[in-house]
Amino acid sequence: MAGQTTYLELSEDDGTAHKFYEVTVDGDTLTLRYGRIGDHGQVRSTIFADTARASSAAAKKIGEKIRKGYAPATPGARQRRPVSRRQIVSSRSTAHQAPVLWRYRSGEAAFGVFVDDDVCMVGNEAGLVTTLTHDARVTGQFRLPDGVKCIVADAGWLYAGCDDGNVYDLSGKIPRVAYRIAPDIDIYWLDIFDGVLGVSDADGGVAAIDHEDEILWRKRSRGSAAWMVRCDEYAVHHGHSRGVTSYDWRTGREMWHQSTRPVLFGWQEEDAVYAGTSGGQVMRFGKDGGPQGAFACDSAVFSCASAPAGRYVFAGDNCSSVYCFDDRGTRLWKLGTGCGSAYSMQYHRERLYIVTTDGSLACLDASEAAVHAAQSGTIPSAVDVLAPVGVREVTPAAPVRTVSHRDDPGDDVIVECFDHRGRLRVRVLSPGYHEDWWVQFPKDIREAGARYLVPGVRVSERGGFYRAFGEIRRLV
């Protein structure tokens, strides 16, 4: 495929689709151009380690589009026509409106959401990642090379799973490639615990991948396409079309399986796993696989979450409604979102944050008083958040800042990249560290023989390797 361009189009007679997708490989660079037929469209380029990887990534993209109905075409043969967009949401909620405090419209359907004490983040299908404060102020925005499937936290690190097959570390000033997933794994969702990724794919498979991109194990589940994957210190919990299966994270040995209706998204607490199903239920299982109850909704469940320790359980269905249950399964309320169906959600301090089919990140007041008022028809006036002008594009393999070499790094740590049996590894050179432990380090800036200065390295929770943190500078 090197040096070749593949041009595809999807054009339907009813006017619901009229778009193109162009894939070009030039050496180690993959360039994607896409948009409505007749427009120039958007252009994004990604640099890979070599031509083979760029070609593999291109083949994956072409396969994805062909499965969605695209077909080879001749540029210019079809003419531009007026925009006519397909409605994603199957139907509108008939419930009372939820008490939405504020809403940020990202512009494309959104799956990725992350919330902690300091920030709220949303990542959408256009690769746009936006950071907001809890009082609805946009503090940052950048674009990754492809659609963002999820945003997940692992100790002090934050990662975004991207449709280009990479997982980006968002913890620093510039997103860096933390993992490169095998090109034949069509990522649907991922989770991470102590550097080990659990990845579910479009074919219903699941894989565990370590901090050096090496596959610990890979399984084909009992079902087909699967979204849900949740990781903890003992297991990878996988939801697919025939239920939920739990695997030992080290070996991939099946620990337990529970049959359910097809599983979409899932959630976990310390002692329980939650699976939202197409049958309109959220199923709860203990980490030993024992059934612990069901939470009944009125339509297929797209997403679910819980309050700490499972005190409340939340769900979002495909009819733009959200639900709340107590821990015994009693439905406490059902309310309409007003901004599409919730693809993902997270509860934080009496607020429910949802990302939706219309690309919104919405903050709902889930307090008892606010919900009671909403059920009576009284809701706050939602604030529509405005995004800043201009989006920072992320350049793959952006160079790091250089500093002069010094013998005394102070409190910083010196690490070195070197070739180990054909693979680039990173080890600590500063005294007092294990010489035979690798360092988890961005893949896109590794260069054999290069030395770097980092604020520190931390031992992984399970031990055996270090994780670099803070701003990375190259020693010259």
The angle at the Cα of 428, spanning 425 to 429, to the nearest 5 degrees, equals 120
Confidence of residue 248 (pLDDT cuts 50, 70, 90): very high
Q: Which helix (H) or strand (E) holds 56?
A: helix 51-67
Strand ranges across the sheet with 5-11: 42-47, 29-36, 18-26, 5-11, 71-72
Average pLDDT estimate for 17-27:
87
Q: Give me the pLDDT at residue 396, please.
A: 53
Report the b/e string of 300-331 with b at 16+ CB within 10 A. bbbbbbbbeebebbbbbbbbbbbbbbebeeee
Q: Are 230 and 266 a contacting pair, CB within 8 Å?
A: yes
Q: Name residue 67's amino acid.
A: R
Question: How many whole angstroms separate alpha carbon 433 and alpha carbon 420?
Answer: 19
Residue partners of 236: CB distance under 8 A and separation at least 6: 191, 198, 206, 208, 229, 230, 246, 247, 249
Q: Which helix (H) or strand (E) holds 205?
A: strand 205-209
Q: Is the pLDDT of residue 318 over 80?
A: yes
**Beta bridge pairs of residue 58:** none
Render pLDDT for 28-44 as a digit per residue (tens, 0 to 9): 888 988 887 887 777 87
Q: Is the pLDDT of residue 430 over 90?
A: yes
Question: How many whole angstroms separate alpha carbon 244 and alpha carbon 226?
Answer: 10
More confident of the two residues 44 and 161:
161
For the chain, the average pLDDT equals 89
pTM greater than 0.85: no
Q: Give me the pLDDT at residue 392, please.
A: 65
Q: Which of 23-27, 225-229, 241-245, 386-390 has the lowest mean pLDDT?
A: 386-390
More confident of the two residues 13 and 68:
68
DSSP sequence for 60-86: HHHHHHHHTT-EE--TTSSPP----PP
Render pLDDT for 436-466 as a digit per residue (tens, 0 to 9): 999 999 998 999 999 999 999 999 999 999 9
Q: Which of 102-116, 176-190, 229-243, 297-311 has the lowest mean pLDDT?
A: 176-190
Max CA distance (Å), the chain: 69
Q: Is the pLDDT of residue 252 over 70?
A: yes
Strand ranges across the sheet with 456-459: 439-440, 466-469, 456-459
Q: Are 256 and 245 a contacting pair, CB within 8 Å?
A: yes
Q: Are 226 and 241 a contacting pair, CB within 8 Å?
A: yes
Q: Where are the domains of the chain?
A: 5-72, 100-180+260-392, 401-475
Q: Are 343 and 303 a contacting pair, CB within 8 Å?
A: yes
Q: Give me the pLDDT at residue 257, please.
A: 97
Render pLDDT for 58-80 as a digit per residue (tens, 0 to 9): 888 887 788 777 888 888 877 76
Question: How many whole angstroms separate alpha carbon 138 and alpha carbon 262?
Answer: 37
On whether the 401-475 domain is CATH 2.40.10, my answer is: no
Q: Are 220 and 205 a contacting pair, CB within 8 Å?
A: yes
Q: Is the pLDDT of residue 85 over 50?
A: no
How far is residue 235 from each of residues 26, 167, 177, 279, 288, measured CA to CA in Å?
41, 20, 25, 26, 10
Chain centre distance of CA 411: 34
Q: Give the total residue count for the chain.
A: 476
Q: Give me the pLDDT at residue 393, please.
A: 61
Question: How many whole angstroms separate alpha carbon 401 and alpha carbon 403?
Answer: 7
Average pLDDT estimate for 112-130:
95
Q: Is the pLDDT of residue 144 over 80?
A: yes
On whether the 100-180+260-392 domain is CATH 2.120.10.30, my answer is: yes
Q: Is the pLDDT of residue 1 over 50?
A: no
Query: 3-state DSSP: the chain helix, strand, coil percent, rounded to 5?
Result: 5, 50, 45
CA atoms within 13 A on the CB side of 342: 34
First-to-last CA distance in the chain?
Answer: 38
Q: Is the pLDDT of residue 83 over 60?
A: no
Question: How many whole angstroms separate alpha carbon 371 and alpha carbon 314?
Answer: 13
pLDDT above 70 as % of the chain: 92
Q: Give me the pLDDT at residue 80, please.
A: 64
Render pLDDT for 293-315 as a digit per residue (tens, 0 to 9): 999 999 999 999 999 999 999 99
Q: Name residue 339's amino acid.
A: C
Q: Give me the pLDDT at residue 217, please.
A: 97
Tokens of 33: 């151009």
Q: Is the pLDDT of residue 131 over 60?
A: yes
Q: Give me the pLDDT at residue 191, please.
A: 97
Pairing type for strands 281-286 and 439-440 reads: unpaired
Confidence of residue 93 (pLDDT cuts 50, 70, 90): low
Q: Is the pLDDT of residue 160 over 80?
A: yes
Give, in words, the CATH class of 5-72: mainly beta
Q: Are 269 and 309 a contacting pair, CB within 8 Å?
A: yes
Residue partners of 429: CB distance under 8 A and separation at least 6: 414, 415, 416, 451
For 146, phi and psi rounded to 5 degrees? -155, 180
How far is residue 236 from each of residues 163, 178, 208, 383, 462, measured CA to CA in Å?
21, 20, 8, 39, 15
Q: Give me the pLDDT at residue 179, please.
A: 94
Render pLDDT for 217-232 as a digit per residue (tens, 0 to 9): 999 998 887 889 999 9
Render pLDDT for 271-289 as a digit per residue (tens, 0 to 9): 999 999 999 999 999 999 9
Residue partners of 130: CB distance under 8 A and separation at least 6: 104, 106, 121, 122, 123, 138, 140, 141, 361, 387
How far is residue 92 from each of residues 140, 317, 332, 341, 348, measured CA to CA in Å?
32, 11, 20, 9, 26
